[in-house]
């Protein structure tokens, strides 16, 4: 009958598809992976990733934290973490992460000249991502924070399908144009069965340093509205503050250089919310 024929065709398709998917394999020594994504570029995702990695370590000094820059075309972690140079190789030919502020970091920016553009097609990018995931000696990490590139393409799929991810965090400004892409980013993770821990509302409000008047430059509560639509939590708000930009540009992120500031406290709170929502890590 036609219905049994349709069923056998569906079974055959699902078998072929399942064969095509790579088997998820944990990264040696890494207990939990948290990815930060945005969908759209320019919303402060890398700044957020850096400060959240530092906040995870600051909240619990017993935890070891790593930071992986998965943005092959525009790596910004080296500058923000004040790191330069090429990784050393272990006897097993694995790259040793560079370390600053107690955080182990790996980035394409350590492997190419600072001003050299990476002019590569997709297959070369996939190969680079595979090396950054599999050919790095992270030692023993409680958390590996991955700063994803913008969009919902090859890199996001490759990372999601190759390694088990404990949770994803979506970063967006309250602006409608950014929220459209943040929505797509959250839906992409759901499609590949990665739990979305919540949203971060970045550049939420600007306070005039002279008169203290507050202005919602990118709109107010847009991320909260999106979170309701998606049935997700807002993990926290980060203000639009010149200190956040200046400290990252100088390689001294605000969580490290100004730990008592409101901005640093916002990141520390978000890091706590992330840990609260993570599954119990493997022993």
pLDDT in tens, 73-102: 878 999 999 999 899 999 999 999 999 999
Model confidence pTM above 0.95: no
The Cα 11–Cα 119 span in angstroms is 41
- Which has more pLDDT, 274 or 221? 274
pLDDT one-digit tens code per residue, 239-265: 877 788 888 889 999 999 999 999 999
Tokens of 244: 């956040």
Domains of the chain in start order, with CATH, are: 26-277 (3.40.50.300)
Task: Report the percent of the chain where pLDDT is more than 90.
Answer: 41
Task: Report the percent of the chain where pLDDT is more than 70.
Answer: 84
Backbone angles phi, psi at 198, to 5 degrees: 155, -175
Mean pLDDT of the chain: 84
- Which has more pLDDT, 103 or 228? 103
Residue 225 burial (10 A CB sphere; 0-12, 13-18, 19+): middle
Task: Say whether pLDDT at 20 is over 60.
Answer: no
Tokens of 61: 């000094």
Burial 85-95 (b: 16+ CB within 10 A, else e): eebeeeeeebb
Backbone angles phi, psi at 211, to 5 degrees: -100, -5
């Amino acid at each position: 009958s036609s219905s049994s024929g349709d069923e056998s065709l569906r079974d055959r398709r699902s078998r072929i598809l399942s064969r095509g998917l790579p088997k998820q394999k944990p990264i040696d020594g890494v207990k939990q992976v948290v990815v930060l994504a945005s969908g759209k570029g320019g919303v402060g995702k890398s700044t957020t990733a850096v400060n959240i990695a530092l906040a995870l370590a600051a909240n619990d000094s017993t935890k070891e934290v790593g930071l992986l820059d998965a943005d092959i075309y525009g790596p910004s972690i080296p500058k923000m973490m004040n790191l330069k140079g090429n990784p050393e190789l272990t006897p097993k030919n694995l790259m040793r992460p560079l370390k600053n502020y107690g955080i182990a970091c790996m980035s394409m920016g350590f492997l190419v000249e600072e001003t050299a553009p990476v002019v590569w097609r997709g297959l070369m990018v996939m190969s680079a991502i595979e090396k950054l995931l599999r050919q790095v000696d992270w030692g023993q990490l409680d958390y590996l924070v991955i700063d994803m590139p913008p969009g919902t393409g090859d890199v996001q799929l490759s990372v999601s399908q190759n390694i088990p991810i404990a949770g994803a965090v979506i970063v967006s400004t309250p602006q409608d144009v950014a929220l459209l892409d943040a929505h797509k980013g959250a839906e992409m993770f759901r499609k590949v069965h990665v739990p979305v821990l919540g949203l971060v509302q970045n550049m939420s409000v600007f306070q005039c340093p002279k008169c203290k008047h507050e202005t919602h430059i990118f709109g107010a509560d847009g991320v909260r509205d999106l979170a309701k639509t998606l049935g997700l939590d807002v993990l926290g708000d980060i203000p639009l503050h010149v200190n956040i930009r200046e400290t990252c540009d100088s390689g001294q992120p605000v969580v490290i250089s100004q730990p008592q500031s409101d901005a640093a406290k916002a990141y520390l709170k978000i890091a706590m919310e992330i840990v609260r929502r993570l599954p119990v890590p493997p022993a």
